[in-house]
Structure 1
Amino acid sequence: MSADTGWAGVNWYHFPDLAEVRARLDAGADPSGGAGCWEPPLHAAAERGALDVVAELARRVDDVDALMRGRSALWTAVAAARFDAARVLVEAGADPWLDMMSGWSPARLSLAGSEPELFGGGRSLAPEESAMVAEARRLGDLFGPPYLDGFSVACVAGIDVTEAVRRLDARVLTDNPEQLMASVDEDPEDSEARWMMWATNVPGGVVLTQPWLYGAQMPGVIKALSAGTTCYAMYANAKSGNQGSLARDGELVGWDLHPGGEPDEDDPDVLLKYLYSYQALPYCYAVTGLEPQDRRSFDGPPDAWIRIPARDWWR
């Protein structure tokens, strides 16, 4: 979007009030433009703006259902749980059943949210979709934020601790767990601590956790764990945010992913990513089909402390 659309200097994350928006529009600002911002004003308002600003922009745009990255302003409002803004947009002519986002219209998406009757129509999710919604709420309650930075976790479907140990050529440590934790706390980046991890069985598979470092997400680790199955791993990087990676059948198929992030336009997993928006840790479990019943796989105590061989796991 060009710099002459009338919105230069506007910070859409500290949303302007109606008076400023109206003044800019009256001065010739393009209601569909967004200089200085990567999204159109109506989409930004649908997610973060006051309702009167949403109504004003919706009244002025050429197309209230215009898409940005595959989604309309109404879809954005629903995804952000801004249901009052969604109602304002519908009153302005937005179509809740307009097909987008791999078949997930705003109205269909709303069926998975906290106001499934938002648009009426008597429709409902498929049974398997409803089950996904229920599981997302359960995992969200179980692993509710905040999380500490600096940990890594690898969720592996269909194997157990014994098999994970075998695949990594690791050994189970028999030392006193309190002494092991004390040695890690003393220096988490110590040459010995970097090779130690937790391993815990959960319904559906196994979880490897390194609460103090990135080890559980190293490419060689997740490739070895994923032989014949799927492994999704994450490192909570204090500098750059949550970094996800995906391995299938011994091959790294995704790196620098964004667990807890929003879906892309042609994403086949729109519902899954919507349900786990801003819930990075629960997403790691859900995407691999693991169903933990408690927090032990993340908080401890684990089923086993293990030590992997000291070698180059970055390949």
Structure 2
Amino acid sequence: MVAELARHVRDVDAEHEGRTALWRAVFDNCPDNARALAEAGADPWRPMMAGWSPGRLALAGPYPDLFSPSRAELSAAEAAAAGEARRLIRALSEHFYDGYSLACVADITADDAARRLEATKAEAPEYEEYGDHGDYDDSVVGAIDVPGGCVIIQPWAYGASMPGVIKALSAGTVCYAMYANPKSGNQGSIVRDSLIEGWDLYFGGSASVGDTVEEVLFTYLYSHKAAAFCFANTGLRPTDSRAIVGPADMWLKLPERDYWN
């Protein structure tokens, strides 16, 4: 189908929103489509999207030999980021549930998080499964230590991603949080030193014109992996999926206050 369509276009390298159809095929990990477009004359090495040609982007993904011989290479830092993405995604075994929230915080421990939230220890709640939307206490969150920082989780609601929670957690550091909203999809946020830099973001979505070199790469590496995107951007290095599905190292009861204003 793609090969047939490519034969009927005037310019197989026409750009839309700063990228060609070939670039899009690489980004979406569709190697057969990419090969068909290249055979129709699309240029794998045409620079676009902050310098990421389709061929160079492919080097960071699951099909590094898609275009041979290679006329580009990854830097040592880019190759390391690609390797860490593969490890992290395998470790998390990203679970596709709705209704949970998490906050990844760099360079603090679960005990630090409890102090910043002024929270008290709570009994572990009994929930049937991750993403269960039962009648649970929205003021109870879990805290888990992981290499590089800690994770705050709430398997049944948005509590871990509330503005008041993530602003308190991020003092002097950075926090990436998300809520897997069952009504509208993932809602991500970025908070640095208690200041919200981004809200209602779609982590794991498409790259945009104007993104930096690093942003294009991370968006590609963690496409459709919103939780892993949060871990990667805060430098957290979990070794298994416990950092998402628990069990938590401790459960915390948030003090009663307005966490939205």
TM band (smaller chain): over 0.9
How many correspondences in the alignment? 257
- Structure with the larger RCO, 1 or 2 (CA within 8 Å, 6+ apart): 2
Q: CA deviation at 1:166?
A: 1.4
Q: Deviations for 1:97-142, whole angstroms, at most 9, x for unmatched residues?
A: 1111111110110101222122223443112111111111112212
Question: Which aligned runs of 4 or more in structure 1 are off by greater than 4 angstroms?
Answer: 182-190
Q: CA deviation at 1:74?
A: 0.5
How far apart are the structure 1 equivalents of 2:217 and 2:128? 42
Judge conservation of contact 1:157–1:204 (CA < 8 Å) in 2.
Answer: yes
Q: Give the match's secondary structure for 2:61.
A: coil
The correspondence for 1:125, drawn from 64, 74, 78, is: 74
How far apart are the structure 2 equivalents of 1:295 and 1:80? 25
How far apart are the structure 1 equivalents of 2:127 and 2:52? 49
Which deviates more from structure 2 when the two are superposed, residues 224-233 or residues 53-62? 53-62
Judge conservation of contact 1:188–1:194 (CA < 8 Å) in 2.
Answer: no
The 3 A distance-change label for structure 1 pair 212 and 222 is: same
Which deviates more from structure 2 when the two are superposed, residues 106-115 or residues 138-147? 138-147
Judge conservation of contact 2:180–2:186 (CA < 8 Å) in 1.
Answer: yes
How far apart are the structure 2 equivalents of 1:201 and 1:75? 38
The 3 A distance-change label for structure 1 pair 182 and 67 is: closer
Q: Give the match's secondary structure for 2:227.
A: helix
How far apart are the structure 2 equivalents of 1:274 and 1:136? 10
Residue in 2 that maps onto 1:215: 159
Higher strand share: 2
Q: Does 1:150 align with 2:94?
A: no
The 3 A distance-change label for structure 1 pair 205 and 83 is: same
Judge conservation of contact 1:188–1:213 (CA < 8 Å) in 2.
Answer: no
Which deviates more from structure 2 when the two are superposed, residues 123-132 or residues 285-294? 123-132
How far apart are the structure 2 equivalents of 1:140 and 1:184? 21
Residue in 2 that maps onto 1:293: 239
Larger radius of gyration: 1
TM-score where L is the length of structure 1: 0.77
Judge conservation of contact 1:152–1:214 (CA < 8 Å) in 2.
Answer: yes
How far apart are the structure 1 equivalents of 2:118 and 2:92? 30
What runs of 5+ residues in structure 2 fail to find an aligned partner? none
How far apart are the structure 2 equivalents of 1:214 and 1:291? 23
How far apart are the structure 1 equivalents of 2:154 and 2:104? 12
What runs of 5+ residues in structure 1 fail to find an aligned partner? 1-52
The correspondence for 2:87, drawn from 124, 130, 138, is: 138
Q: Does 1:109 align with 2:54?
A: no
Residue in 1 that maps onto 2:178: 234
Identity of aligned residues (%): 52
Q: CA deviation at 1:157?
A: 0.5
Residue in 1 that maps onto 2:197: 253
How far apart are the structure 2 equivalents of 1:187 and 1:241? 15
How large is the Cα RMSD of the aligned pairs? Answer: 2.0
Q: Does 1:282 align with 2:228?
A: yes
Residue in 2 that maps onto 1:95: 43
Q: CA deviation at 1:187?
A: 8.1
